Structure formats: structure tokens, C-alpha cells
Structure 1
Amino acid sequence: MPSRSTRPRLVLVDGHGLAYRAYHALPPTLATSSGEPTAVVFGFTSMLLEVLNDFEPDYVIVCFDSGKSFRHELYEQYKAHRPETPDDLRHQLERIRQLLAAFRIPIVVREGYEADDLIGTLAKQAIERELEVLVVTGDTDLLQLVDDHVRVILPGRQRFGEYRVYDRQAVLDRYGFPPERLPEFKALVGDPSDNIPGVPGIGEKTATRLIQQFPSLEAMLERLDEIDPPRIREALRTARETVLTSRQLASIVRDAEVELDLDRAQFGYFDRDEVLALFRELEFRSLVPRLPQPRKPVTLSKPIPSQRRAILTEEELEELVRELEQSPAFALDVETTALHPMYAELVGLAIATSPVRSYYIPLGHTTGDVQLRRDAVARALAHFFQTERVQRYTHNGKYDALVLERAGFPRPRIDFDTMIAAYLLGENAVGLKELAFTKLGWEMEAITELIGRGKKQLTMDRAEIARVTAYACADVEATYRLVDVLRPQLEAQNQMRLFRDIELPLIDVLIDMERAGIAIDVSYLQRLSTELDSQLRTLERRIYNLAGHPFNINSPQQLSEILFEELRLPRGKRTKTGYSVSQEVLENLRDAHPIVDAILEYRQLLKLKSTYVDALPRQVHPETGRVHTIFHQTVAATGRLSSSDPNLQNIPVRGELGLAVRRAFVADNRPGYRIADEPILLLSADYSQIELRLMAHFSQDPALLRAFAEGKDIHAATASEVFGVPLDAVTPEMRRIAKVVNFGIMYGMQAYGLARDTGMSRQEAQRFIDAYFRRFPGVARYLEETKRRAAEMGYVETLFGRRRYIPEINSSNPARRQAAERMAVNMPLQGTAADIMKLAMIRVHRALAERHFRARMLLQVHDELVLEVPESELTSVAELVTSLMSSVVALTVPLEVEAKAGPNWADLEPIRVKLSH
């Protein structure tokens, strides 16, 4: 089962592919008492339930073929030999549609496209929206979609009800080449099921060898003289046009005319009785216990009739101002041209003065309609954006406020944000339309209904003002109404203080950080890219020398042959194409042969270059010359902030490679850009071992408390306790093992994990863990008490009351229950650390403003704050930041903060500071 990422999970089901697989895999004798065939429906439903229960998706969509596709025009014989759909299968496809309707799972069909193309397009859009995608199919063609955030689930070969999950490594293991080259493979060998012609004389082994030998099909066809034997060379020469057409036939389209509609796709809001009635009719009694629990049933209703108006004249704007003067609160939303607030242009502003009175002020439509001047609207509304007399409601108000500020409006103060409120309440889907559906029973218009889909999609500025008025006003009315629903729930669950004192004040902090951005040394990254190219070539030569001959380093099959057949290194897991050469396998072989270290270094360099070095320069803002990430408050279940566009949370923290990337983040000393007429430096303030200190505080273990109180090296002190040696006798290896355990214990590490990370045997690792808990009994008690409390209450809490609901803690599935226990153990520690960091950010932000420092916060990554500081302020700001961070909360162990400064994020030197507390 794929591990649960922080991304929402979308399941895309290949309706026809899965149904046809069930049709051929299950006995056709399966039928109801009345004789209705049900094998396909049963197989399809069984697999669907398996996926729903095992993977717990947030969204589900099923795609079906529409008949003939564009491929029939490209190649007349495409699927020409396939017989008509059998009657018993056609009837069962209709039954499947009935079941999907009962589950409230949307079906997507588009004329001219196959289900594969719809899935490919929806998967691409989902990744752009930071979702994790699982594709369920009976067809291996869809394996070409696999990438870092897309996995494919195929039914078992022996038993249909068993499945295998394919990630990128699994595809490499099965075929010997990456997923994106599967269309080339099919073009070479052909596909009888789709009537796609291959190259005569080329089978799977030869096709695999050719794909591994050449970087592309074009390269293969251009370098025919390098191909042996001659008969294969001539076959390819003869079939050149055919093979290119075949690849086109086999390639899944990623830009079909379909739009991902998450509002419709949200899973869980079905009527269980309706599903049960259909199950009874189909005699699927055995499937009843596997039905997932629906979310709270919702009766759809239309919003109460409301007054919605566009504000087009100064007189109408004055009327709105008079109404705002009498209103205790209003909801606010913006319409823009882009999702990134630093690139979005303001198109219009919506305001609701009550749940049934709302207004839309168009400001940037390009439709030729008369609109009010932006500066006039800003002057008219400025007072209401700032006054304490009125409450302002938003949904994702951080985005709204930053867009408005960039457009010349005063930044609105936010008094209630429905997205953050829903997040604190543990809602899985916190989008406005999802919440309107689940909390209000409103089925709201999807944005695609307004601006279209695919290539024909408009930007909001080109949409008709009348239609945008209805759409935008519905949004602010829903926001206004949701406040009345969510506020009592926050109070009932004791989340209001967290909401009011941490999450809402943090919005202003994050807006300033997002707008500030951080400078990037583009020329350095360009030089680094060239250096990495050279290092990769050097590593290639070294690997070839160690292997004794050249081979494709990126081919798992060839690498497996080199390591396990030619060099005879210890083998791991067997795969279809050889023995696994995954990262985990290679890490375990580090000391076995020098080639392993070289290959691991090669992989690291390749990933670093593509993910960071070559990507970051493309993300520099054209106006500011800086990189502007978006910080997210409502993604991580632990309360930690995350970032995107670009994601700065995943930059390596340690090692030469991580430092190389961090060196590109610099203090901005460009004329006209720096914040003072003097040299600028970066200041880093980093909490030291905060989660271990929290473990000591929560567990009140005497040995841990003593170690921190005495300022000891905690890992050396742990090694001294567990190995039973004096502190000065602790060896580096003892300390390394103790460090692994100290951090691993907070994530529920078991003997297997410790053995894997330290090189111990499983028995040695278990003895070490047993000894650890004997020396630190308070930690053992805390872990067990946390799990017990979680099982009893269904959630765990941080020191500040932030909750994480863990319903799986009482699951009958041991694997799922153990995973839930690990979450329960870790969340109070990681979540409290996140809360402490957020409070520190709020206090630092306020203090810098109150004391009129020119320094400003730029980034928050893990337990670290990064600021930009004029040289003359460095000592004062470092002392202020360190003092505030270390005094956020009083624990039974001290919070320690390390301050460093330098010209870039890598070359930082420690600063000696005097604490004021």
C-alpha cells in the first residue's frame, strides 16, 4: 500500500479496462438467483471497495471509453478486429454505472477520447494541483503514466481480487526501462489486443535491449548502423513510418478536453441504504461488510434566494458603503487571473454583507464593459478593511489579502477564515465548494462551468461580468454562512484559542514572507549545473571502469546484472527483470563494493540537478528578481507549514549536495533591491533538537530531563545510558546508534527499522530498544499512554490543543492500526514543535515592526527561520530573535536556538548572542 503523503489522494478508475479484465478473469457462471450475470459487476465492485478501504481516497472519478477515438482516424485498422461488446457485458456495464451513481462517484466520458486519455489528462491536472494520484485499471497501457505522484494499481495475475501497486521503481523492475518509454516498447513489439502493428522480428527482449541502448526512438532510428544483428537493423529501417505511427497510437493523451472537478469528485457522501438496496438486488451479500462508512449524509439544497448585484457605478458603490457602515461583518473574496498570488492580477472583488445579500465589483474584466476605477474602490473600502468595528470573513484569506495589497488596496484584517477553521476541525476537504456541500448542503457552480475546460478555458478577466457576479456572490454568501456553522464547532472542540491566537495572526506573517521572497544567485546555479554535468560524466566513467564495461546506469535490469551476476554482490528482492536495485537495496550494499557508492552518488547528483539546480532559475519572479514560495497552513496534519511553487521544504538540509543548493539562496545586495544602504546578510535561527526536548517534557523521564538540564550532548548521553559506559567513553559509533534511536523512537521505530538504519542484526536492534526503554522508562510510559489515550478518544493533541483525529487507531487491520499508533505517538511532538514555531514567527514579526528594524523574515523551513538583515542590525536582531524563540513556552527543559549569519544560506557562521530572559 502506498504510504500516505501530505497530498490529498485522487483515485482514477479505468471503467472499461477494469470491467474487461473482470470479464475475462472471473467465471461467467456468477449470476443472481434470477439468472442475471454479475461476474463483471462483482469483480469491478470488489476491486473498487478494496481500493476505497485500503487507500481511503479523498476523491474518486471513473472514466469510460466513448466509442471511436482519434486513433481510428490515425490508423484505420486500430482495434478493427475486436468483436462487438457482448450483451452480457453491456448489461453489466450499465449495472456498474448504477453502482457508481449510488456511491455518488462521477463518471467522465468524452467523445473522441478513450478512458486512458481522460485519465492521463486528469492525472496531469491533479499533479498540478498537488494531489497524489492512484490509477485503477486492468490495462498495463496506463503504466506509462507512473511518476513521482502517480501510481497504478493492477489486479493480480492469479487472483483478480489481489492487486499490485506500481510506482516508478516497480515499472523499472518489470520492464527494465522507465514508464514514459512504454509507448516505444509497444511500437516495437506491437499490441495484438489493440491491433497496433509492431516491427517484424522484434520481440520483447530485443525491444527492451534497444530501448536501453538508445535514449529515444528517434535516436534509435537515426543510428541504425549501431544496431545488431543486421536483420533487426533492416527491419527497423523498413518499418520506420509504421513504428512512429504505432508509438502515437500507444501514447496516452495528456491534454484531452476534460477538466478536473474536485467538487463533484469528493468521495464519501453517498446514501448507504441506496447502495445496500442495489447490493441486495445483485445478491452481493459478501460485499456488505466491506462497505466504507459514508460521511455525514447531506441533503442537497439550493442556497436561500439572495440579492446579488454587480457594482458598476459610483452611486452603487456609495450604496454599498452605506450598507457596510450598518453591517457587523462582511465576507470577502477576490477573482483573479492566476493561482499564485505574486503572479495573479485582480479581476474583481466580491462582498457579502449577510448570507443573502452580496455584491460583485468588477475591476479588471477585458470584456469592454464599463467598470469602476480600482483606486476609487480602494479608497471607498479602505476603512472597512481595517476598522475593528466590523468583522471580515474569508476563505483562504491569505491569498485574497496578498492579491488586494499588490493591487493597491490596504491589506484587509481577517477575523475569521473558514478554510483554516475547517482544517483545525479535522475536515479532509477544506475547499469552499466541498465545505458548502458537506456543511450547508449547497451544490455550487464549478469554476469550469464559468470559464470552460482544456484548451478553450478562459481566464477570469475574459468571463462575462453577469456570470462572474453570480459565481463570486455565491462564494461569499457560502463563506458568510459557513462562519455560523464552523465557529460553534471550534468552540465545542476547544480549538478557538488556537484559531485566534496562532493561525489567524500567522496570516499577516506569511503574507509578508511570501511578498518578500528570497534572492537566488542564478549565475551560480548555472555554473553549478555545468559542474554537475561534468561530475556526472566523471562518475559515469568511474562506474564503467568499476563494472568493466559501459552500460545504462539508469536501467534497473542492466544494473541488476552488473551488481548481482557479474560482481556477485548480495542479492535482495527478486523482480520480474532481475533483482531489485532500489535506493534501500543499494544503501544496504554500501560497503560491499566501491561501485555502489558511485551509483548512489550518481543518482543523488542527477536528482539534485533536475529538481533544484535547473528548476529554480525558472521560478524567479520577473519583476522582483526573487523566488516567492507559497506557504500553506492547511495541508500538513501535524500543523507544520508546507510550501509550494517552489517547494522549499524539501531542499536537503545536510551534506555537500544540500549545501550546494542552499548556497544559491543569497542576501539580496543588488542596487535598488536591498532593504538598506549597507551590506545585507542572511540570518538563520534554528531550534536545537526541539522534538527531543518535547519528548523530555511530555515524558518527564528523569534521565532525559537531567541530560538536557546539564547541557549534555543528548545523543552521547543516551549512548552512555544504554551502553552502560561513562560519557567520555562513548565512541562515535555508539553515538550514531543512539541518535538513530532518539529520533526514530518518536516515529514508532521498531527493531526492523533500527537494524536497517544501523547495520545491526534484528536481534541486536531489539536488545538495544529494550535496553533503551529500561534506561528511559518515562519515554516507554509516555508512548504507551499516548496510544491508549488515542484509542480511547479517537484523537491526539499538541500542547496547545491542536488535534489530529486518528480513527484507524481501533482498526481491525493490524498494519493500519500500527501505522495509526505511529501517527499518534509522533503528532503531539511534531505538532507542538510546529505550534511553537508559529508562535515564534508571530512574535518575531511583531517585534521587528514595533522596534522599526529593517530586517524581515523570508523563510520558515522545518525548525529554522531565515531572515534578511542589514549588517548594522545583525547583533541586535539575532539577540531579539533568539530570545523570542527560546521563550515562546516554558518547558521543563530549556529551548535552545542557534543563530548563524552569512552571505548565503549555506555559508553561515555562528553568532554569540546575549539572551534577555
Structure 2
Amino acid sequence: MKKLVLFDGNSLAYRAFFALPLLNNDKGVYTNAVYGFAMMLTNVMKKEQPTHVMVAFDAGKTTFRHAQYQDYKGGRSKTPSELGEQFPFIKELLEAYQVKHYQLPNYEADDIIGTLAQQAERDGFDEVLIITGDRDLTQLASDKITVNITKKGITEVEANTPASLREKYDLTPQQIIDLKGLMGDSSDNIPGVKGVGEKTALKLLHQYDTVENVLAHIDDVSGKKLKENLTTYREDAIMSKALVTIKVDTPIEITLDEIAYSGYEPNDVIPTLRELGFKALLEKELGDQPEAKKEPLATLVVETVSDIPVEQLTTGMAVYAETKTDNYLASACLGWSFYNGETVYYMSHEAVLASIAVTQFLTDASLSKKSI
């Protein structure tokens, strides 16, 4: 069975960032979006067991849609710096998990996802699953493509299929484009037709199917003000439909074969999780590791002495200084331990200072010591 899972990187990062309180690791790096993203990724991968997987990102703020409408997404506030600095760590985490990520200049993540999803469908994949927080992608739903929209927090999702869209809106997935064309989308600063909300847009589409057919039957539409608005803002409706239409023929340079997934090595992930300070995920990975073979503990003989024979003070000897506090640079020294591979010798600090052989050994730079 061939199953492709496609993640909408930017959308999910935003969702994770605003769903979780600001977190940071011990270096002061913000990590809440990375953590939320990691939880979504690992949960989906474990549940779905895909044969192919990829995360798509937006390449920048300007796309081909800005050439159609300069104010596209113009109302959006600037990405918080606390979120922006987390994207490199999200990508680092993906690489540790052996998950491919991709972006394409002048296009959005939606377009990359749409292109790959339909390619997979044409190539005979059994199932394609899209994970996103953007309802525009529901236009891609088909018998083989399911669009999961994040709802609350970072774990709950709503599965969108042709059947569920028919039940909810009495529309086909293709008509989601017409719905947005008529009612617009304030989050992307897409105007639509002034005065037309979801209820009116649905009523029009149930009668006339498409934006173009609605505009062709303006004279048949009931309501004077609605007729006026459809006439005045007809070009906005056509433009809005074009803006929300996901391109499924983008010139991507990554193939389905390149995003085949065969799992990851926990040893590749563990250092990244440690660096980010993700204890729960780290414990999960460490728990999956085979238990290290435990060697029996050796019995050591400890001798408390006032001096050590010079022939026992050999290069490579292990030396441990016991101090009153952890700050060994400023703390008083209580005693010293010396280990030659067979016996541990313990001397008080006063005894060490009184021993010519031991002080010469400690200060002789030509004799290597192992500090412990």
C-alpha cells in the first residue's frame, strides 16, 4: 500500500506557536512552535505509517498571486520574531527524523501540496493525507485525498472528504473555490463580493453552481442590494476565485520517489531533542532503545594512607580531589583519591601537602593524570 502524507509547514507552525505558551530551552531559544510541530509530526507518523512523506513551506512573502492582486495577504500582521526564529529548528528536526521538506520561490506551500497530491493520485497511490490549518486546501479532497484540518490545540483534527463537504455545505470540493470567490477571505485579504457572507454564497451556489454562472444570472437573483453588489464587484469575485485556486501544476523539482520514507534512526534524533530540551520526546526515544547490557560492578579496595610509594605514582593514574562545595576553584580541599587500576588510595589534604612524592607527582606535567 502506498500512502502519502503532506504537511503544510507554515500553517502548522503558526498553529503550534499560538496553541502553546512560549517555551524556551536552556540557551534561551524559543521552542514552543518546534515542540508543537514535533508532537503533530510524530503522532501522525505513528498513526498513519506513510510510505511517502513531505513538509511544504512557503518560500517567501511574495508569490505569483501578488502579481494578480497587490494587496493579497496585505492585512496580515508581521510574523512574531519569537516564531520566525523557530523555523530553522523545525527544519533541523525534520532532517533528524529523515522527513523531506521543500519550498519553491514564487509559490505557496498549498501549491506544492496540491501538485504532489494530484501527482500521487494519478500515479495510483492508495491514499493521500494532507495535514493543515488552512481550509482552502479542502478543494483538493477526492476519493483518494483526505484533508485534515487542525481544530483545537495541536492534536484534534477534522477530516474533510467529498462526502463530508457535501454533508456540511452541500458542495463539491471544487465549489469550495467558488464559495471563497463570492464571500472572500479576510485572513488572506481576498475581497470577494461586498455584503456576501457564507450563507448567501451557499444559497447562490446551490442555485447556480459556480461564480461564473452566478454572474451570468444576476438578473435572476432576488434582492436589489445583492444584485447591485454582484454587478459592482463582479471583477472582484472573478479575481478572488483565481486567488484561492490552488495551482496543481507548479514546476516543482522534487519527485514522489525522493520523498519515500523508510523511518529514522533514533540516534539521529536524540541529540536534536536534547539540544531543544524536549524531555518528553527524548524519554520516548530513549525508551525505544534496546537496554544497554549491564556489566557487573568491580569491587575496589580503598586504602586510607598517609603516603603513597613513589613506584605506585605512575602516568595515567586517576586523581580525584574532594572539596567542601561544588565550586572546586574556591572551596577548601578535604582530601584526595588516587587510582592505579588496582587500588584506590585515599589521603587527607594535609597528608598530600606533607608528602614530597605525591606533591611532585601532582606537579609533574610530564606525567599524565586522569581527573575524575
Where on the TM-score scale, by shorter chain, does this alignment land: which range? Answer: 0.7 to 0.9
Length, aligned pairs only: 286
**1:50 to 2:33 alignment:** no
Q: Structure 1 residues 290 and 245 mapped into 2: Cα distance closer, same or farther (>3 Å)?
A: farther
Q: Structure 1 residues 153 and 291 mapped into 2: Cα distance closer, same or farther (>3 Å)?
A: farther
Q: Structure 1 residues 260 and 212 mapped into 2: Cα distance closer, same or farther (>3 Å)?
A: farther
Partners of 1:49 and 1:291 within 8 A in 2: no
**1:10 to 2:7 alignment:** no
Partner of 2:293: none
In 2: Cα distance, 1:254 partner to 1:53 partner: 28
In 2: Cα distance, 1:171 partner to 1:35 partner: 44
Counterparts in 2 of 1:257-656, with a 5 A limit? 257-259=251-253, 261-288=255-282
2:206 is aligned, of 212, 217, 220, to 212
Aligned-pair CA distance for 1:21: 1.6
**1:176 to 2:170 alignment:** yes
Partners of 1:53 and 1:292 within 8 A in 2: no
Partner of 1:145: 140
Partner of 1:60: 53
Partner of 2:115: 121
In 2: Cα distance, 1:134 partner to 1:278 partner: 27
Partner of 2:246: 252
Q: Structure 1 residues 147 and 290 mapped into 2: Cα distance closer, same or farther (>3 Å)?
A: farther
Q: 1:172-228: CA deviations, max 9, x gaps? A: 233331211112111211111111102111111111111111122111110112212
Q: 1:90-120: CA deviations, max 9, x gaps? A: 1111110001111121111111110000110
Partners of 2:133 and 2:151 within 8 A in 1: no
Letter aligned with residue 264 of structure 1 = E
Partner of 1:163: 157
Partner of 1:379: none
In 2: Cα distance, 1:14 partner to 1:161 partner: 15
Letter aligned with residue 145 of structure 2 = V
Q: 1:822-845: CA deviations, max 9, x gaps? A: xxxxxxxxxxxxxxxxxxxxxxxx
**1:31 to 2:24 alignment:** yes
Partners of 1:23 and 1:40 within 8 A in 2: yes
Letter aligned with residue 102 of structure 2 = V
Q: Secondary structure at the match of 1:11?
A: strand
Q: 1:288-319: CA deviations, max 9, x gaps? A: 4666999xxxxxxxxxxxxxxxxxxxxxxxxx
In 2: Cα distance, 1:33 partner to 1:288 partner: 15
Partners of 2:34 and 2:90 within 8 A in 1: yes
In 2: Cα distance, 1:293 partner to 1:225 partner: 68
In 2: Cα distance, 1:116 partner to 1:160 partner: 20
**1:41 to 2:34 alignment:** yes
Q: 1:539-584: CA deviations, max 9, x gaps? A: xxxxxxxxxxxxxxxxxxxxxxxxxxxxxxxxxxxxxxxxxxxxxx
Aligned-pair CA distance for 1:54: 0.8
**1:19 to 2:13 alignment:** yes
Q: 1:236-260: CA deviations, max 9, x gaps? A: 1111111100100011001000155
Q: 1:246-295: CA deviations, max 9, x gaps? A: 1000110010001552332122342211211111111212224666999x
Q: 1:372-406: CA deviations, max 9, x gaps? A: xxxxxxxxxxxxxxxxxxxxxxxxxxxxxxxxxxx
1:107 is aligned, of 97, 101, 111, to 101
Q: Secondary structure at the match of 1:179?
A: coil
Partners of 2:5 and 2:131 within 8 A in 1: yes
Partners of 2:130 and 2:145 within 8 A in 1: yes
When normalised by structure 2's length, the TM-score is 0.73
Partners of 1:14 and 1:116 within 8 A in 2: yes
Q: Secondary structure at the match of 2:186?
A: coil
Letter aligned with residue 77 of structure 2 = P
In 1: Cα distance, 2:281 partner to 2:108 partner: 30
Q: Secondary structure at the match of 1:13?
A: strand
Letter aligned with residue 54 of structure 2 = I
Q: Secondary structure at the match of 1:134?
A: strand
Q: Structure 1 residues 201 and 99 mapped into 2: Cα distance closer, same or farther (>3 Å)?
A: same
Partners of 1:61 and 1:106 within 8 A in 2: yes
Partners of 1:146 and 1:168 within 8 A in 2: yes
Q: 1:773-812: CA deviations, max 9, x gaps? A: xxxxxxxxxxxxxxxxxxxxxxxxxxxxxxxxxxxxxxxx
1:136 is aligned, of 127, 131, 141, to 131
In 1: Cα distance, 2:266 partner to 2:236 partner: 51
**1:82 to 2:72 alignment:** no
In 2: Cα distance, 1:228 partner to 1:289 partner: 63
Q: Secondary structure at the match of 2:120?
A: helix
In 2: Cα distance, 1:10 partner to 1:162 partner: 20
Partners of 1:49 and 1:292 within 8 A in 2: no
Q: Structure 1 residues 108 and 293 mapped into 2: Cα distance closer, same or farther (>3 Å)?
A: farther
In 1: Cα distance, 2:209 partner to 2:102 partner: 35
Aligned-pair CA distance for 1:138: 1.4
Q: 1:580-618: CA deviations, max 9, x gaps? A: xxxxxxxxxxxxxxxxxxxxxxxxxxxxxxxxxxxxxxx
In 2: Cα distance, 1:121 partner to 1:155 partner: 21
Q: Secondary structure at the match of 2:166?
A: helix
Q: Secondary structure at the match of 1:54?
A: helix
Q: Structure 1 residues 289 and 153 mapped into 2: Cα distance closer, same or farther (>3 Å)?
A: farther
Structure 2: unaligned runs, 5 residues or longer: 289-372
Q: Structure 1 residues 15 and 293 mapped into 2: Cα distance closer, same or farther (>3 Å)?
A: farther
Counterparts in 2 of 1:732-747, with a 5 A limit? none
Q: 1:603-658: CA deviations, max 9, x gaps? A: xxxxxxxxxxxxxxxxxxxxxxxxxxxxxxxxxxxxxxxxxxxxxxxxxxxxxxxx
Q: Compute the RMSD of aligned alpha carbons.
A: 1.9
Higher share of residues assigned helix: 1
In 1: Cα distance, 2:187 partner to 2:261 partner: 33
Q: Secondary structure at the match of 1:72?
A: helix
1:201 is aligned, of 153, 174, 195, to 195
Aligned-pair CA distance for 1:160: 2.2
Partner of 1:675: none
In 2: Cα distance, 1:269 partner to 1:57 partner: 9
Partner of 1:374: none
Partners of 2:184 and 2:191 within 8 A in 1: yes
Identity %: 38
Partners of 1:189 and 1:203 within 8 A in 2: yes
Partners of 1:49 and 1:290 within 8 A in 2: no
Larger C-alpha radius of gyration, 1 or 2?
2
Partner of 2:234: 240
Partners of 1:126 and 1:260 within 8 A in 2: no
By relative contact order (CA 8 Å, sep 6+), the higher-ranking structure is: 2
Q: Structure 1 residues 291 and 267 mapped into 2: Cα distance closer, same or farther (>3 Å)?
A: farther
Partners of 2:66 and 2:72 within 8 A in 1: yes
Q: Secondary structure at the match of 1:133?
A: strand
Letter aligned with residue 33 of structure 1 = D
Partners of 1:8 and 1:58 within 8 A in 2: yes
Partners of 2:116 and 2:256 within 8 A in 1: no
Q: Secondary structure at the match of 1:170?
A: helix
Q: Structure 1 residues 169 and 260 mapped into 2: Cα distance closer, same or farther (>3 Å)?
A: farther
Partners of 1:122 and 1:260 within 8 A in 2: no
In 1: Cα distance, 2:287 partner to 2:26 partner: 28
Aligned-pair CA distance for 1:62: 0.9
**1:95 to 2:89 alignment:** yes
